[in-house]
Structure 1
Amino acid sequence: MKFKPLALIVNLLITLSIGALAGWGTAKSVRTWYPHLNKPTFNPPNWLFGPVWTLLYIFIGISAYLVWQQRDKIEHFPRTVAIYLIQLILNLAWSFIFFYLHEIGIALAEIILLLIFAIVNEHIFRKIDKWAGLLFIPYIFWVAFATFLNYNIFILN
């Protein structure tokens, strides 16, 4: 398969743009509302979230590029794209629900849905390209951790 740098850049820009929008939606609350919440002892420091999410968005973008490279061989490519876009939208929506709207309980329900879609997305991508699926695994673990963290913050507040 021939390397297509522009396609890789587009896929990375899509995911990193989602991350930038999420960051924009959370920036104020991270400084004003979030510090006043009761959080579990395992809550990571705020500075860790940006680098972790950036790396995860890069992995997701590369994963999408690997699948895009094989789009002509994928029987249900529109469905594959739809699952991918749904999980990206859910990813973005969680940030706004939790940090912008301050709806911790609704965010918990939404992140559970995100986790399900991320797992389904990984499964579909793995069938198409082993590396595309593997690149989704850290994202799934982080979303699972974020779900557990969201649950604990919900219980504590």
Structure 2
Amino acid sequence: MSLGRVLPLVLFVLLALGGGGLIGLTVETGGWYAGLDKPSFNPPDWAFGVVWTILYICIGIAGWRVWRAGAGDLQTLWWAQLVVNFSWPPVFFAAQALALAIALILALDVLIVLFIARAWARERIAALLFVPYALWTGYASALNIAIWWMNR
């Protein structure tokens, strides 16, 4: 692979991973969240960092693939899901707006599924890279709803 081909890939992965990491470092997730009632299916805190690191790498690679394929509608969906994804932590943790966070994560679920459905025929690898993301975000949606319900 030439530098001209590798550099955009690295930039897409850095954007997704770096953006998610930066938000994770700058949004306080400790005290308030620790005091919330959580459902029995809440994972240990360390799991979030591990899972999101892997997912952000996959998201970045998928973004690079649709960019490289010149698939404008898929690029729009990719950017839209990233904006909604990056918006969720400040809304949930900083603003402590659990109901609004539910709306955001459900919108994210829709964007991810749309991306998979539309990418399936044209950029199957990008679609497949989003499948674990869809599964985790669906789980996170159920978790968000349960936390809201238990703490209303």
Q: Percent identity?
A: 35
Paired residues of 1:56 and 1:138 also in contact (CA < 8 A): yes
Give the match for residue 61 of structure 1: 60
Query: 1:122/1:105 Cα in 2 relative to 1: closer, same or farther (>3 Å)?
Result: same
Q: Write the mapping of 1:136-147 to structure 2, written as runs, cut at 5 A.
A: 136-147=130-141
TM-score by length of 1: 0.89
Instruction: Find out whether 1:110 has 2:104 as its counterpart.
Output: yes
SS in 1 for 2:30: helix
Q: Which amino acid aligns with 2:67?
A: W
Give the unaligned 5+ runs of structure 2.
none
Which one of the candidate residues 113, 121, 124 is aligned to 1:119? 113
SS in 2 for 1:4: helix
Distance 1:18 1:123 in 2: 25
Paired residues of 2:66 and 2:74 also in contact (CA < 8 A): no
Structure 1 stretches of 4+ with a deviation exceeding 3 A read none
Give the match for residue 42 of structure 1: 41
Kindly provide the CA deviation profile for residues 31-51 of structure 1, in whole angstroms up to 9, marking residues without a partner as x.
211010000011001011001
Give the match for residue 133 of structure 1: 127
Give the unaligned 5+ runs of structure 1.
none
Q: Which amino acid aligns with 1:108?
A: I
Q: Which amino acid aligns with 2:96?
A: H
Paired residues of 1:18 and 1:88 also in contact (CA < 8 A): no
Paired residues of 2:38 and 2:150 also in contact (CA < 8 A): yes
Q: Which amino acid aligns with 1:119?
A: V
Give the match for residue 4 of structure 1: 5
Distance 1:91 1:13 in 2: 15
Distance 1:10 1:125 in 2: 21
Give the match for residue 52 of structure 1: 51
Instruction: Find out whether 1:33 has 2:32 as its counterpart.
Output: yes
Kindly provide the CA deviation profile for residues 32-88 of structure 1, in whole angstroms up to 9, marking residues without a partner as x.
1101000001100101100100100001111112222211xx4xx1x3222111110
Paired residues of 2:67 and 2:75 also in contact (CA < 8 A): no
Q: How many residues align?
A: 150
Instruction: Find out whether 1:18 has 2:22 as its counterpart.
Output: no
Give the match for residue 90 of structure 2: 96
Distance 1:85 1:141 in 2: 19
SS in 1 for 2:88: helix
Distance 1:63 1:44 in 2: 26
Distance 1:44 1:24 in 2: 19
